[in-house]
Amino acid sequence: MRKRLKKNLGVFRALFSLRFHGLTVFRLDFFGPFFVDGSLFVIQLLAFGAVYANVDAIGSWGRGEMILYIGSFSLINAINMTVYFFGINGIPGKVRSGDLDLYLTKPVSPLFRLTFENVSPGSIPLVFMSICIIAYGVGTADIRLTLAGTGAYIFWILIMTVLYYEMEVLIRSVSLYVVSMARMEQIEEAGLELCMKLPGIAFHGVYKVLFYLILPYGIMATLPVQSMVGEMSAEMAVYGMGVVGLFSLLTCAVWKRGLRRYNSASS
């Protein structure tokens, strides 16, 4: 186990070094994402401001908690954009072109390499911008920070980032089974767009089943906020961990089975 971990860390350092040097060959490639991602972030922030301009409360959450929710989802998404999005997002294209063959012949997990080969330093400012929104939300909600509450919040942010990763891998693993991914990507985009604007506490009935279990985007930022404001119950904490565990197993099974039935596009 230790030997494998050491090997993966070595591969990660090599991939990051290659990616960084590749981006710095042309300055526009390195600094362009700073401008593009920063502009997109500002546009999204303005859109969220317009949505909540005349909304004082959603359920038990006031304006401060909603700002904290937006910042939390933004932080999870920023980590996603920085670390693994651009690698995972390329899976369907590599399946169609046959480039996935190259990953299967390397002495390292193909999913590990796909995950970390396109790290995006240009998205790092989004992380700091999101933290600023979180700090503003904490101040607006007048939340008294404690070591336990802050630790729980960070824990749930990391766990929900793992869930976000699993969802992205799971959806793109479908490309190993079908020809077109258009519908799946549309479902993902629609679910994310809705849950980035509405916290999970706003969902009830069939919508809660959909966004708490089938497409669990509704819990991704809701649970971290609930942990910070002291609203998370033991049952909800167990449920959140259970969903992450369930999707870990499902993602692993779908990915591995898909690789077994994968036929090279070049053959």
Report pLDDT digits (tens) over 161-185.
999 999 999 999 998 888 777 778 8
Which of the 8 DSSP states describes residue 61? E
Residue pair 76/154 in contact by the 8 Å Cβ criterion? no
82 in any annotated domain:
yes
Mean pLDDT of 65-75: 90
74 in any annotated domain:
yes
Mean pLDDT of 200-229: 93
73 in any annotated domain:
yes
What's the token pair of residue 232?
Answer: 């998370």
Query: Which residues form the domain of 111?
Result: 33-48+58-261
Question: How sure is the predictor about 25, in pLDDT bands with cuts at 50, 70 and 90?
Answer: very low
Task: Compute the distance between CA of residue 91 and CA of residue 168 in angstroms, rounded to an integer.
Answer: 10
28 in any annotated domain:
no
What's the token pair of residue 86?
Answer: 């651009």
What's the token pair of residue 184?
Answer: 């799946």
152 in any annotated domain:
yes
Domain count, the chain: 1
Burial class of 142 by CB neighbour count within 10 A (0 to 12, 13 to 18, 19+): exposed
More confident residue, 71 or 55: 71
3 in any annotated domain:
no
Q: Assess whether pLDDT exceeds 70 at residue 11.
A: no
More confident residue, 15 or 231: 231
218 in any annotated domain:
yes
Of 237, 225, 266, 244, the closest CA to residue 61 belongs to 225
> Can you tell me which residue has the tokens 């994310």?
192
pLDDT in tens, 107-145: 788 898 888 888 877 778 888 888 988 998 899 889 988
227 in any annotated domain:
yes
Dihedral of the alpha carbons of 61, 66, 72, 78, in degrees to the nearest 10: 160
Q: Over the chain, what is the mean pLDDT?
A: 82
